[in-house]
Amino acid sequence: MKLNLTQKIIKDHIVSGEMIPGSGISIKIDRTLTQDSTGTMAYLQYEAISEEAVKTECSVAYIDHNMLQSGPENMDDHIYIQSIADKSGVIFSRPGNGICHRLNLDRFSAVGKTLLGSDSHTPTCGAVAMIAIGAGGLDVAAAMAGGAYFLNMPSVIGVELKGSLRCGVSAKDVILEVLRILSVKGGVGKVIEYFGEGVKNLSVSQRATIANMGAELGATTSVFPADERTKAFFIAQGREDDFRFLAADEGCEYEKIITIDMSSLEPLAAAPHSPDNVKKVSEIKGVKLNQVIIGSCTNSSYEDLVTVAKILEGKTVHNDVSFAIAPGSKQVLKMLADEGYLSILIDGGARILECGCGPCIGMGQSPNSKGVSLRTFNRNFKGRSGTVDADVYLVSPEVAAVSAIEGYLTCPMGKVDFVVDEPRTYPVNDNMFIYPSKDKNTPVIKGPNIKPFPKAYSPKEELLCPVITKLADNITTDDIMPSNAKLLPYRSNIEYLSNYCLTPVDENFPKKALNEENGSIILAGENYGQGSSREHAALAPLYLGVRMVLAKSFARIHKSNLINNGILPVVFADCGDYDKVGHGDILRISDLKNAINCEDIIIENTTKNETYNAKLIANDRERVLLSHGGLINYLKTI
C-alpha cells in the first residue's frame, strides 16, 4: 500500500487502533514542549500523575509568553517551572532565549519523530517532516509520563505547490490562500500535507510559517517532506544526525488535493477579525495604520527580519506609526546584530522587543483605542491584542515593512526586488538551555499564586441543569478564557481566572454559573473553542460548575480538553434545534452514565416540554474518561 507522509509517520508510532480516518488511535510521543502560559498547569498535572522523571526522549519547557514582570506572579511561575523541570528531567529554556516553536524547530526537531506540545502552534515543526500536534496540558503531562497520545485518525488533505514565490510575495501568502479556501474550520479532523515541485522552492523557515498557521485551519497538524532543503537546514544548525530523507510514496492518495501555483499569488491580508477573512492587499490598500508589529512564532526568522531590514534601509517609519519588532530567538537577534541589520532596524524607527511572544498574546504593545494594527502574527480575534475595539490585520513581513514606511496598508509588489536566502550556517550557542540534574531531591518551589487545579467528579445519575448562556459561532478560547496582560500572570490560579470566564461575550457568566449549585450548561454555535490550546478554557468552566457544552460543532483541541476534564461535549443532531433552546431553559439527560456510552442522546427541555436528538461523538477511550470524570481520575484507576 502506498502511504502519504502523514500515514508513514503515524504507522511508525501507532500503539493502538487502525489507520482508518475517524477511528480512534493512539501514538507514541517522542518529544514534548510546554510554554509558561500553559506550562504551570501542565506540570501541576504532571505532579498529580507521576513522581518519576519523564519517559520521553526529549522534553523542553520554554519561558516565552509571560515575561512582562509587573508583579511577582510571572517570575514565580518561571521559578516553579525551572524547579519542576530539573526534578523531572526536562530541559529548561530561560526567558529571553526565544519563542518555543522557533527554538524547538532550530534545536530539538527531528525528521520522522512525533512532538506533542501544550500550545496550538506546535505544528510549526511539521516543516521538517514531524507529526507535531498541539494539545491540552493534561495530554502533554500524560505523554511525559510515558502514556500514548489518543486521537482520531485524521484524514489527509494534500496541498500541491507549484512554481515559486515572486519578489514581494511571502510564504505567509501561501497559508493565507489556504485559509481563504478552507476557512478556520476546514481542517478539523485533518492533516494538511504539502507536496509538489514547488516545495523545493521554500526554505525551512518559509515552510514553518505555513505549518504554523495550519493551526488556524483547525487542523490536527501540517507536514512537509524532508528533502535537500531540510538537510541544508539541519547542517546549518549543526544537527545533521537528526535528518533523514522522508516523503510520501509516489502515487499515494489524499482525501482531496488543493493545487496552489505560488508564482500566481499576490500579497494577501487577513482582515479583522478572523484569520480566514482573507483579502488581496491590492484591493484593500490605503487603510491608515497606527501600529505595525513584526514577529511571533509565525514570522520572526532570520530571513523574515533581514527582509524587513533591507526594506527599511535608509528609510524611517511613518510619523503616525508605532513600529516594533520581536525576534524569534536569541540566535536570530545575535545574527541581526553581528551582520549590521539590527542597526538598520533601530535607525529606521523600530522598537526592539524581547525574543518572545509578547504582543501576539496581548502581553504588551496593545494598540490605541479604535486603532488599526498591522501584524505578522497568526491570529486577529477581536480583543486578542488587548484592545477590544482595535482592528488587527495579519500580513507578511514584506507588507508590514512597506506599510510601516508609508503609514497605510500598502502592496509591496514592485517595491521589493530581492530575496533573502536561508543562512548556510547558524551561530549555535545553547547556553540559555538548562539541562536537568535529575536530582529527585530538587526542591519544587511554588509561589503563593500557584493554586491547585480544580478536580472533576464522576457523573451523577442524571444531568439536570439550566442553560446559562447562549453563544454564537466561532467562539474562541480567547473568548472563553481571556489572555491579556492583566490575566496571564494568573494562569496558575484557576479560582481567580474563573471570574473572567466568557466575560468578553457574556459579562455576567461567572456570577450566573456560581449561582447554580447543581451545575450549568453552555449553549454554543459552530466551531466552539477555536484558537489556542489553553486548557484553562476548560478548567475555568469546570471550576464554575459547567457540566455540558451543547454546540453545533467543536474545535479539536478544546473538545479534547473538555473530555479530559469531565465536561460533556455534545452536538445537536439537527443544528436547527439550536434556535429552539433559550437562555434559562432547563435541560435533562436521563440515565447519564448510560448516555455517555451511546452516540445518540435524547435531551429533554423541561422548560418547553420538547426533546432534541443530540450526539456525543467520542471514541471508546473518551467515553471511559467521561465516565470517570476526566483523565486524571481515570489514571488513578489503572
**Does residue 149 share a domain with residue 93?**
yes
pLDDT at 280 over 90: yes
The confidence score (pLDDT) of residue 197 equals: 97
Domain interval for residue 106: 5-264
- Is residue 451 a part of any domain in this protein? no
**Does residue 616 share a domain with residue 508?**
yes
**Does residue 507 share a domain with residue 525?**
yes
Going by pLDDT thresholds of 50, 70 and 90, the confidence category of residue 1 is: confident
What is the chain's percent helix, strand, coil content, to nearest 5?
35, 20, 45
Residue that finishes a domain, picked among 377, 406, 435? 406
| Sheet of strand 58-62, all strands in order from the earlier edge strand to the far edge | 131-134, 114-117, 31-35, 58-62, 91-93, 433-434
List Cα–Cα distances, 204 to 171, 192, 217, 224, 236, in angstroms: 11, 16, 20, 9, 11
Query: Average pLDDT of 163-185?
Result: 97
Cα torsion for 446, 448, 453, 454, to the nearest 10°? 150
**Does residue 63 share a domain with residue 24?**
yes
The C-alpha cell at 128 is 521538517
What is the sign, positive or negative, of the torsion defined by CA atoms of 144, 148, 151, 155? positive
The C-alpha cell at 96 is 529571553
If DSSP codes are grouped into helix, strand and coil, which group holds residue 391?
strand
- Is residue 506 a part of any domain in this protein? yes
For 489-535, what is each residue's pLDDT tens digit? Answer: 898 999 999 999 999 999 999 999 999 989 999 999 999 999 888 89
What is the rounded average pLDDT for all residues in the chain?
Answer: 95
E-assigned strands of 435-551? 463-470, 520-523, 546-551
**Does residue 347 share a domain with residue 246?**
no
CATH of the domain at 467: 3.20.19.10
The confidence score (pLDDT) of residue 363 equals: 84
**Does residue 253 share a domain with residue 273?**
no
- Is residue 585 a part of any domain in this protein? yes
Query: Average pLDDT of 136-140?
Result: 93
Q: Chain centroid to CA 201: how far?
A: 26
For 608-635, what is each residue's pLDDT tens digit? Answer: 999 999 999 999 999 999 999 999 999 8
Is residue 520 within 8 A of residue 545, CB to CB? The reply is: yes
* Cα–Cα dist 363/336, whole Å: 24
- Is residue 432 a part of any domain in this protein? no
* HSE value, Cβ hemisphere, 13 Å, CA-based, for 134: 35
If DSSP codes are grouped into helix, strand and coil, which group holds residue 371?
coil
**Does residue 343 share a domain with residue 259?**
no
For 215-236, what is each residue's pLDDT tens digit? Answer: 999 999 999 999 999 999 999 9
**Does residue 102 share a domain with residue 209?**
yes
- Is residue 440 a part of any domain in this protein? no
**Does residue 190 share a domain with residue 105?**
yes
* Cα–Cα dist 293/391, whole Å: 13
229: buried, middle or exposed (CB in 10 Å: 19+, 13-18, 0-12)?
Answer: buried
CATH of the domain at 322: 3.30.499.10
- Is residue 443 a part of any domain in this protein? no
**Does residue 469 share a domain with residue 387?**
no
Global confidence as pTM: 0.93
**Does residue 209 share a domain with residue 127?**
yes
pLDDT at 438 over 80: no
DSSP 37-70: HHHHHHHHHHHHH-SSPP-SSEEEEE--S----S
For 68-102, what is each residue's pLDDT tens digit? Answer: 888 899 999 999 999 999 999 999 999 999 999 99
- Is residue 416 a part of any domain in this protein? no
E-assigned strands of 175-333? 190-195, 221-223, 256-261, 268-270, 278-280, 291-294, 322-325
For 16-26, what is each residue's pLDDT tens digit? Answer: 999 999 999 99
- Is residue 446 a part of any domain in this protein? no
Residue that finishes a domain, picked among 264, 285, 313? 264
* Cα–Cα dist 99/354, whole Å: 10
The structural domain count of the chain equals: 3
Q: 596 φ, ψ to 5°?
A: -60, -25
* Cα–Cα dist 554/153, whole Å: 17
If DSSP codes are grouped into helix, strand and coil, which group holds residue 418?
coil
Vertex 57, ends 94 and 29: CA angle to 5°? 105
Residue that finishes a domain, picked among 384, 406, 428? 406
List Cα–Cα distances, 565 to 368, 457, 576, in angstroms: 38, 9, 28
pLDDT at 440 over 80: no
**Does residue 224 share a domain with residue 273?**
no
For 526-540, what is each residue's pLDDT tens digit? Answer: 999 998 888 999 999
Residue 268 β-bridge partners: 280
Query: Average pLDDT of 318-342?
Result: 97
Going by pLDDT thresholds of 50, 70 and 90, the confidence category of residue 29 is: very high
